[in-house]
Structure 1
């Protein structure tokens, strides 16, 4: 069954049923930011640059470090995760089984100044931290040039 929201003029809705506006409100509250949410949502990411490199912080609570996959191909860093949950609840008269699948993928283009071999990652308290150092020659302090 496919559910399609009906956007008819208010007068036409009231002629069909006096309860129609109420059902539209319920529909909006459930599907437009309410109780029913899509499972494939990209997590929030902070990218911080310092003189020595970059730090990427990716908020992904509820995952384990084994759920993540981090790939580096040329200068593209891709972070992805797949999570499958199965909840089974059985009682004498009631049986319920729920499945939940969620996944995401985020890709970042890294600058040429990054040291690919020194990238490291750790997952602490629901946040994935990536340390992406710059190559030694790119870490130098800015040079001042005197005017003669």
Structure 2
């Protein structure tokens, strides 16, 4: 997955040209449970001097996460053994289960791979990736003569 800008105005999807017609069908839990992978959702944003990745991963501890950077790809992973209580339960519906997963993000050229910080609090993993100095937006007031 790459860090690209999100355009909410552009909702054109080649796989779903009729959009809303099939939306209720594919948003049904029958399809979601089978089609959607069970990985935490991620929000990716950008500020003047950083890229920000936030992942919703409730019920974990910061020790559960592993962050690796290799060849400009940031990989976030969690590997947990299933609890014995889960094996004894008979779920009628299970919408969250983050026992083991991996998410990968390709960093843009403007990212500074040496300055990546991560924190985990209140079920949200926050990763801040600094921009290289030359990639930061230059702003200045231009005098009119």
**What are the residue-to-residue correspondences of 1:101-140 with 2, within 5 Å?**
102-140=99-137
Higher RCO (C-alpha 8 Å, min separation 6): 2
**What are the residue-to-residue correspondences of 1:18-29 with 2, within 5 Å?**
none
Q: Structure 2: which 5+ residue stretches go unaligned?
A: 1-28, 90-96
In structure 2, the partner of 1:87 is 84
Q: For residues 123 and 31 of structure 2, what CA distance do their matches in structure 1 show? A: 23
What are the superposed Cα offsets for residues 24-63 of structure 1, whole Å, 9 maximum, x if unpaired? Answer: xxxxxxx8269xx57x601100000111010100000011
Q: What TM-score, normalized by structure 2, do the two folds share?
A: 0.61
Aligned residues: 107
Q: For residues 100 and 46 of structure 2, what CA distance do their matches in structure 1 show? A: 27
The Cα of 1:143 is off from its aligned counterpart by: 7.4
Q: Is the 8 A contact 1:63 1:126 kept in 2?
A: yes
Q: Is the 8 A contact 1:54 1:132 kept in 2?
A: yes
The Cα of 1:79 is off from its aligned counterpart by: 0.6
Q: For residues 101 and 58 of structure 1, what CA distance do their matches in structure 2 show? A: 12
CA RMSD of aligned residues (A): 3.0
Relative to structure 1, is the Cα distance of residues 45 and 74 closer, same or farther in structure 2, using a 3 angstrom cutoff?
same
Q: What TM-score, normalized by structure 1, do the two folds share?
A: 0.60
